[in-house]
Amino acid sequence: MLGKSIPIYLCLHKRHEGFTLLEMMVAISVLAILVTLAIPSFSEAILSSKLKSYSSYMVSSIYLARGEALKRNTTINLCVSGDGLKCTAGNWENGWIVLSRDQVIHRQQALGKGYKVIELSDQTDLRFQSSGLLSQTATFTICRTEPTPGSHGRSVSLSITAKPFVAKTTREVCV
C-alpha cells in the first residue's frame, strides 16, 4: 500500500461556477437603474418616429395628388374622409383620400389614438389644379394629444406651387 498514490484530481477541491446571491442582487440593481434611465429616451424616440411617419404619409399624399393632377390634366382633391369613400366633414386625423371626380385614387387610414392633425385655416379639402398648382396655401401640424400632450410635432407647409416643406415644431399644447 505504500507504493500506491492517490490521484491528484481527487485531492483538488471543485470550484463552483456562478454568481453569489450578493453579486446577483448588485447586477439586478444596476440593471434596474439603467432601465429606469433609458425608458424616457426610448419613449421620445418612438414619439419622434411616429410623428415622422405621419408627416411622411401627408407628404406622399400631396405628391400623389399633384402628380395625378398633372398626369390626368384635371383637378384632384386631397380631402378629409372618415369613410374612405368620399370627402366628408371632420378632422384630418380621421383619415384622408386622394380623389379624382368620384374615383378614389388613394386612402389614408386614421392616425393612431392620441395623435392630431391641425390645419391652421380649418381646410378640409385641397384642390390641385391640372397645372399641379394649389388653389390655396395650407399648413398642417401633426402632434400628440394623449397620454400626455407632446411638446413637439411636425409641420407640413404647402405653398401655391404644392411643394411640401416639413419642419419640427414645438407647441405647448396640441389642441
Domains of the chain: 20-71+113-170 (3.55.40)
pLDDT of residue 48: 79
Cis peptide bond upstream of 147, omega within 30: yes
pLDDT in tens, 123-161: 888 999 999 899 888 888 888 876 565 567 888 999 888
pLDDT of residue 150: 59
pLDDT (average), residues 160-173: 81
> Mean pLDDT across the chain, nearest whole number?
83
Which one-letter DSSP state was computed for residue 92? G
CB atoms near residue 7 (< 10 Å): 7
Question: Which of 77, 163, 169 is closest to 120 using CA atoms?
Answer: 169
pLDDT of residue 70: 93
pTM: 0.75
Question: Is residue 63 a contact partner of residue 170, using CB atoms and an 8 Å limit?
Answer: no
Residue 50 has pLDDT above 70, yes or no: yes
pLDDT in tens, 51-97: 889 999 999 999 999 999 999 999 999 999 888 888 888 889 899 99
Which residues make beta-bridge pairs with 165? 157
pLDDT of residue 6: 60
Higher per-residue confidence, 6 vs 124: 124
